[in-house]
Amino acid sequence: MQAPIFIFSLPRSGSTLLQRVLMSHDDVCSVAEPWLLLPQIYTLKETGTLSEYSSLTTHLAIQDFINNLPNKDQDYNASLKTFILDLYAKQCQNNERYFLDKTPRYYLIIDDIVNLFPEAKFIFLFRNPIHAYASAITTWGNNRFNKLRSSYDDIVLGTKLLSEGYTKHQDKSIAVNYESFVTNFETELKRITAYLDLDLNHSILNNFSEQNTKGSLGDPTGVTKYTTISNKSIDAWKQVFNSSIRKKYALWLLKEISAKDLETQGYNKDNIIEEIKRLNSKNNHLILKDSIDYFSNFLTRTFKLNLVFSSKFSWIKKKYLS
């Protein structure tokens, strides 16, 4: 393996589609969503994690350990890099040049990844955040808001951090807009393969639907649904924000995102606002459910109720987390 490729994007932004297209090339290997670097990088952060063994104490202890290394952070980062690259290389069983790591929440650690792997390739994949949120609602929420409590951070914080990351590292990366990728596929693919120094051949254009991302995470619908590149998904969001309360929620969500961050990604905030206002809002039969979902999400996020009532977190009830 020559180097890793990292895709930085919001969830539901077409990263699985781009991943499968690039996997069609003989020189690119990947698996669904590795998530390898998040726990490794967060070990070095004071905030962001809680655990029964005390994440903060772990952070302090590891910092003490690092400070006693001959070259301190340099030694630790070099060993961490070797560890991760070795795992990536083991996935490349056909001696591919690149391992592609597609983990949406890597937007949280863009600077750390770029500093750790300066020789890597970085693809910033942007999508209109309102469209991405609509896709999350239909994919994970069954067209309801009640299961999307983490998506606020993905859309608002994720958009901000992606824009900041691209602005800082655009000299060594490439930006791709999902809308352009599905509308002008061959043109965009030529740009991407040129950046990666890969030959553009017919297999990469035609065989992406045959790629197996080998994992349980990622896009649960697109992996099996899409066998050709289509721009039909661009307008799908209009069928989600199709009531008065949903339009208000979309406008409120957009208010949380700065015009500058949207402009960095190629979008105009005023144009998006006008698009939302023009939507048909006569489909109001879900107003009661949407109101309940919105209030439920507010309470859950405010009081962390997902940790109290979820069976997946029942282990914490008798634990002291720190």
Average pLDDT, the chain: 91
Domain that holds residue 193: 3-318
Q: Work out the angle between the directed axes of helices 244-255 and 129-140 (0-180°, nearest 10).
A: 130
Domain with residue 101: its CATH number is 3.40.50.300
At residue 215 the predicted structure's pLDDT band, cuts being 50, 70 and 90, is low
Q: Distance between CA 187 and CA 229 in Å, rounded? A: 13
* Number of domains the chain contains: 1
**Residue 243: what pLDDT?**
86
The strand pair at 121-126 and 173-177 is best described as parallel
DSSP-based three-state secondary structure for 175: strand
Phi, psi of 34, deg, nearest 5: -65, -45
Percentage of the chain beyond pLDDT 90 is: 70
DSSP-based three-state secondary structure for 176: strand
Q: What is the pLDDT of residues 110-153, one digit of tens each?
A: 999 999 999 999 999 999 999 999 999 999 888 887 766 678 89
More confident residue, 146 or 17: 17
Say which range, 1-10, 42-51, 218-227, 236-245, has the weakest mean pLDDT: 218-227
**Residue 115: what pLDDT?**
98
Phi, psi of 30, deg, nearest 5: -160, 165
